[in-house]
Amino acid sequence: MAASSTLRSDRTKRMLMMYAQLALSLAQNPRLALQLIRSQYRYSSGRIKAVILLLALLTAGSVTFGITELQKRRKRDAKERRELHRQSSSVLLSDGWSREIFVPTANKPLTSKSKSSTVESGEVSGDATARVVIKPTKKVTFEAHRRLFLQSGSGGKSGNGSVAEKKAGVNRQFLKEFSAIWSIIVPRLQSKTSALLFIHALFLASRTYLSLLVAKLDGQIVRDLIAANGKDFLRGLGYWFLLAIPASYTNAMIRFLQAKISIAFRTKLIRYIHDIYLSKELGYYKVTNIDGGIEGADQYITADVTRFCDSAASLYSNLGKPFADFIIFSYQLQRNLGPLALIGIFSNYALTAWLLKSVAPPFGRLAAAEARLEGDYRNAHTKLITNAEEIAFYDGTGFERAILDKTYKRVIVHISKILKIKVSYNMFEDFILKYSWSALGYMFASLPVFLPTWSGNDGISELATTTPSISLAKRDFRERDRMKQFITNKRLMLSLADAGGRMMYSIKDLAELAGYTSRVFQLLSTLHRVHANSYGHELAPNEVAEPFTLADVHGTVQQGFEGVRFEHTPIVIPGLARTGQPGEVLIKDLNIRINPGDHILISGANGVGKSSIARVLAGLWPVYRGLVSKPLPKDITFLPQRPYLSHGTLRDQIIYPDSHADMLEAGGTDAKLMEILKLVRLEYIPGREGGWETRKQWKDVFSGGEKQRVMFARILYKNPKFAVIDEGTSAVSADVEGLLYEICKKQSITLVTISHRPSLLKYHTAQLRVGLGANGDEWSLERSGTAEARLTVDKEIEDLKAKLSQVDAWKARRQQIVDELSGKTAA
């Protein structure tokens, strides 16, 4: 028994050794390993053979299973990554500069085919989204352009709406402004827009050439018809149809390219504007709150830029084609009719241009004013939507309707005024361009007949056929040829008149373009001014800037400090750059230092400048004097008074301003977010709202207290070193308020709270009181535990005790009132 068991264990040992050897040789030399398996298998007993076979099958099965699972997981990961990228607003690419965004391309429901199409590299990929790589405008480009936009112009230092509007017109200023904008929309000769403009020009030239061929063919067909020359007539008709194919293609392409050019202009401008408007300099905030050069930047960006681009692209087409026609047809007419006719035609043009320019109303100014009024109307509607709930509560419908009716009426009155002005101008324009020009055309066409010696090639052929000895057949031919010449020249003149007319009509379009140009220039110059912090004029050697104007900002901002420090810093409401008014001093000379762990409560009456301290710290308002030191942006979070909920998913509300991709990259997960929600007592939200991916109008979904708790969840997610909380718990209950503060402190977040609530003092180590002194511009800092703070607390306790001592008297009085009331009721 013992021997057999020893034998078995020997065999097991041998087998194990064999597998160890097998595994080793499989890794080192697979061919040798296979040979080993074969030889071992051949000399093994039947049972061992079965075991080996089973093991081999098991290995093969598990390897296959493993590979399939791995592939599945890879696919799932790739899909998730793609989904993620598509949801993210933008993803920074590896060059650290370009951004990648995915935009939905299909307006129709997705078909299974479009869904499964593969993603390609390049600008546009398959699927229902397009991958767009955006290369932001370089800093040097802005610096190079600054010179063009900061020179005093309609959008210059004094650039408010009305000044710019008054200047809008076809003048030197317009050319300057247009060329400045042109440097943005066509930055280089080798750009895509230049290529589009070039191709468009080629189509315009070929269209003119085709018109020339049509004019000649027209004359020939009429001549052959009158001569009853059927064969040539039919051949002429054949050519006519042949010409129709390239002519109609050219016309369609001209319209298509015009639209493409408009889109190319718009895309260039919009990307440029987005880059400067949403830069680190906070253009979107400062345009309204610091500069004040324009009102309603949204209207400028969404409507005026589009109008400018459409107008510029159509003018290029409407001026380009007539200009090419003008040159070629003039040359041809000069050859046919001689120099006299051409001098007449040009004098006619010059006179017409002068007449129209003298009587033309100020279309540029009118267009700019119309754009502004449309903007006001739109703004009024936006305001209504944004504040719908508040207005509904106040029952302010009537009031708002009156504002909307009034702003709409102003638009309509202005448009009606333009229409009325246009009636008399259009009458004059039509009379000159259509009827006077046609009459003159007949006169010029008759020149070869009545004044052949003055009339080019047609006059020469006329003279050759007017000798008295001419045969009857030749006389016949002369008349038919006259007909052919007349038809050709008439068509050429009609086309020339059309070209000239369109150029003249373009005077009006040009004036309108000047209006839009002035608006877009105004927007760009304001953005450049804000971007460069360039307010005020160059000071003369002995000139001193008026104190606390935007030309008098001399403070220093230090970033990367381990705490928060204000050193001799005044807190000033900035006066708008447009008005040049000095700012109003709220706090004269702030001197505080907040180290990590120094939780501080900023308190004071309404409007004394508590939130303004946060504005200066966040860089929204300028530091006029002294020094402001603060941590790096990642280490400090601001929680403004009004909670802001962004567009996007429920998850986006917690991780704002991070994207989902940023969250994953930082190691965040939905489970961790859930932990945060539990801390702020909002764990029921994902379940109630249908998960993290739910998209809603969150500002209407959350209650006031929930909004504030979501804001605290943001702080906990970001986990900064400092958090500035402006009235962040005014809507939450006292117990939750305490909880939120304790959690933040537990996470080692130093809290700077702005609040009226004395109850919050217990979560802080110091209190900054502002709005003190006779002028309300002084402050005091009391650390908890100091004699001063104890005195304050003692005083508060004394006050409370005094109040408590009156409680019995109040109770008695209350009872008295109740008795009186019940007595009355009984009576």
Ligand X SMILES: Nc1ncnc2c1ncn2[C@@H]1O[C@H](COP(=O)(O)OP(=O)(O)OP(=O)(O)O)[C@@H](O)[C@H]1O
Contact positions vs ligand X (CB under 6 A): 289, 573, 586, 604, 606-612
CA 248/CA 246 separation, integer angstroms: 6
**Which residues contact residue 485 at a Cβ distance below 8 angstroms, ignoring those fewer than 6 apart?**
219, 336, 448, 458, 461
> Counting beta carbons within 10 angstroms of the beta carbon of residue 808, is it exposed (0 to 12), middle (13 to 18) or buried (19 or more)?
exposed
**365 or 630, CB closer to ligand X?**
630
- Beta strands 556-559 and 627-630, pairing class: parallel
Would you state the structure tokens that stand for residue 774, as one six-digit string? 């006779």
Least gap, CB of 609 to ligand X (angstroms):
4
**491 or 610, CB closer to ligand X?**
610
DSSP state of 169: S
CA 750/CA 599 separation, integer angstroms: 5
CA 287/CA 295 separation, integer angstroms: 8
**524 or 614, CB closer to ligand X?**
614
Instruction: Give how far Cα 774 sits from Cα of 592, 608, 654, Å.
Output: 21, 13, 44
User: What spatial distance separates the first Cα and last Cα of the chain, rounded to whole Å?
Assistant: 115
**264 or 590, CB closer to ligand X?**
590
Least gap, CB of 558 to ligand X (angstroms):
23
**Which residues contact residue 724 at a Cβ distance below 8 angstroms, ignoring those fewer than 6 apart?**
614, 617, 618, 636, 637, 638, 639, 752, 754
Least gap, CB of 628 to ligand X (angstroms):
16
CA 373/CA 379 separation, integer angstroms: 10
**Which residues contact residue 505 at a Cβ distance below 8 angstroms, ignoring those fewer than 6 apart?**
318, 429, 433
**Which residues contact residue 97 at a Cβ distance below 8 angstroms, ignoring those fewer than 6 apart?**
135, 136
Residues in the chain: 827
Q: Are 501 and 433 in contact (CB under 8 A)?
A: yes
The C-alpha angle with vertex 14 and arms to 12 and 20, in degrees rounded to 5, equals: 105
**Which residues contact residue 809 at a Cβ distance below 8 angstroms, ignoring those fewer than 6 apart?**
none
**85 or 764, CB closer to ligand X?**
764
**292 or 452, CB closer to ligand X?**
292
Would you state the structure tokens that stand for residue 227, as one six-digit string? 């001569």
Would you state the structure tokens that stand for residue 62, as one six-digit string? 């598990």
Q: Which residue is it, tokens 């929600």?
A: 677
**604 or 728, CB closer to ligand X?**
604
Strand boundaries in 70-160, DSSP class E: 91-92, 99-104, 129-134
Least gap, CB of 610 to ligand X (angstroms):
4
**419 or 605, CB closer to ligand X?**
605
**264 or 616, CB closer to ligand X?**
616
Angle between helices 305-337 and 437-445 (to 10 degrees): 20
CA 100/CA 788 separation, integer angstroms: 57
The answer, yes or no, to whether the previous bond of 547 is cis (omega within 30 of 0) is no
**223 or 764, CB closer to ligand X?**
764
CA 99/CA 91 separation, integer angstroms: 5
**203 or 566, CB closer to ligand X?**
566
Sign of torsion over alpha carbons 789, 791, 797, 803: negative
**612 or 649, CB closer to ligand X?**
612
Q: Are 360 and 424 in contact (CB under 8 A)?
A: no
**312 or 586, CB closer to ligand X?**
586
Q: Which residue is it, tokens 């990648």?
A: 100
Least gap, CB of 145 to ligand X (angstroms):
28
**586 or 654, CB closer to ligand X?**
586
Least gap, CB of 615 to ligand X (angstroms):
7
Least gap, CB of 770 to ligand X (angstroms):
7
Any alpha helices (H) in 599-747, and if so which ranges?
Answer: 610-618, 650-655, 660-665, 670-679, 685-689, 698-701, 704-718, 734-746
Beta bridge partners of 359: none
Neighbouring C-beta atoms of residue 771, cutoff 10 Å: 19
**279 or 289, CB closer to ligand X?**
289
Least gap, CB of 745 to ligand X (angstroms):
23
CA atoms within 13 A on the CB side of 448: 31
Side by side, which strands form the sheet with 564-573? 556-559, 627-630, 564-573, 584-594
Closest by CA to 744, choosing from 766, 783, 715, is 715
Closest by CA to 467, choosing from 480, 456, 478, is 478
Closest by CA to 288, choosing from 270, 306, 300, 272, is 300
Closest by CA to 762, choosing from 793, 728, 726, 787, is 793
Q: Is residue 410 helix, strand or coil?
A: helix
